[in-house]
Structure 1
């Protein structure tokens, strides 16, 4: 459905200052937003699954999404939780391949959707616009590489600290609560729950993070950065 006026204003304000679209020129931003349609997803609702045909591009305006990848044993590995400002769906679309990941609404989610037909029309009208979409693929690859580096980090405390810093970077303002459970965080870190809980306790006792019910936050970012770099 077309974006209502208030939703248009709110979405434009958010996505013009956060994420991939914010780094593009104003003309391109307006072109994308003019084509966007509002979609809402309930908690745990699938946005798309691995193996699906690509239908378009999604930009998260409100809420949080979980991104999972399949493993060789047939299970899904929860790679990351992502918040407003994320755009996803470009890789399969422009390669004419099927989806490589499953994206699920972790909370109630509002997203802008730009169809595959509209995106291809933008590039047909101005072939140089492929650079704008390729910039998104580059940005999402940078996120993926940082996640891989994090999982490969030895030491549970350092691995946890680096992941919390990464998620803190993705927030509008550093130090906000990260709203996910310890079970989810343990999955993302490929770590057992007891190991994670011990690491959380050590970092909290050191005054670098604060742990609440199904949430946590970085409270001394500089110290945590120094600790992870040691």
Structure 2
């Protein structure tokens, strides 16, 4: 956790205290970590496995936005706003998370004014990612939106099956099941992906990226 994601960007003393105060928690596939509307809680860092992050504006149901990768942290809004959870975090595969409780952060903050800035950095990293999501969703062609989602999920790791169904991929790409199926057939024929039951293997992430950005011929 000290080598990727949020923690490596921060001072050594702060990293050490986060690691000392955090607790490892294990989740089975499909098990929720927290739900929309849950009381305020601490932050979670992904050590191993895969989690899904679903978000929603006020009054709406959460929709799948991204799959977390090791080193990814979330849950910072509760510390910053003291409001209930604004989304849902759920284990997709066997998952290990590092949990820094809210009261632990509250104990750290009075002794170090920079703690608020350190936690806010998680928020800004999330905002940067959401900029990418918005950019991808504005592409008019459904197959390029699908390619964009697949290319983003390769951050999980090379040669690792992407644990997404066609329906879930459609939600993330704002595409119909028919559009997703057509795109996957096209990408499979080109040798870019291998489509299996409830998972997709990325064979050529570079080709997907070029196609998603319009650098690959139609």
Q: Same fold (TM over 0.5)?
A: yes
1:225 is aligned to 2:209: yes
Q: Distance in 2 between matches of 1:175 and 1:28?
A: 34
Contact 2:24-2:99 within 8 A present in 1 as well: yes
Q: Distance in 2 between matches of 1:128 and 1:70?
A: 29
Seen in structure 2, the aligned counterparts of structure 1 residues 214 and 21 have a Cα distance that, compared at 3 Å, is: same
Match 1:128 to one of 94, 114, 120: 114
Contact 2:66-2:172 within 8 A present in 1 as well: yes
1:41 is aligned to 2:27: yes
Once the two structures are superposed, the pairs formed by residues 171-186 of structure 1 within 5 Å of their partners are 171=156, 173-186=157-170
Q: Secondary structure at the match of 1:40?
A: strand
TM-score normalised by length of structure 1: 0.84
Q: Secondary structure at the match of 1:185?
A: helix
Seen in structure 2, the aligned counterparts of structure 1 residues 29 and 71 have a Cα distance that, compared at 3 Å, is: closer
Q: Distance in 2 between matches of 1:77 and 1:123?
A: 32
Unaligned residue ranges in structure 1 (runs of 5+): 1-14
User: Which residue of the partner structure matches residue 151 of structure 1?
Assistant: 137
Provide, for residues 131-190 of structure 1, a one-character-per-residue CA deviation record: whole Å limited to 9, x for no partner.
Answer: 21121111011122222222232111110111111111x22x444321222222122222
Match 1:190 to one of 163, 174, 185: 174
User: Which residue of the partner structure matches residue 84 of structure 1?
Assistant: 70
1:107 is aligned to 2:93: yes
Q: Secondary structure at the match of 2:160?
A: coil
User: Which residue of the partner structure matches residue 105 of structure 2?
Assistant: 119
TM-score normalised by length of structure 2: 0.88
Unaligned residue ranges in structure 2 (runs of 5+): none
Contact 1:69-1:79 within 8 A present in 2 as well: yes
- Aligned-residue offset at 1:72: 7.9
Seen in structure 2, the aligned counterparts of structure 1 residues 87 and 157 have a Cα distance that, compared at 3 Å, is: same
User: Which residue of the partner structure matches residue 201 of structure 1?
Assistant: 185
Contact 2:43-2:101 within 8 A present in 1 as well: yes
- Aligned-residue offset at 1:202: 0.7
Contact 2:188-2:194 within 8 A present in 1 as well: yes
Query: How many residues are treated as equivalent by the alignment?
Result: 214
Q: What is the aligned-residue RMSD (CA, Å)?
A: 2.0
1:57 is aligned to 2:43: yes
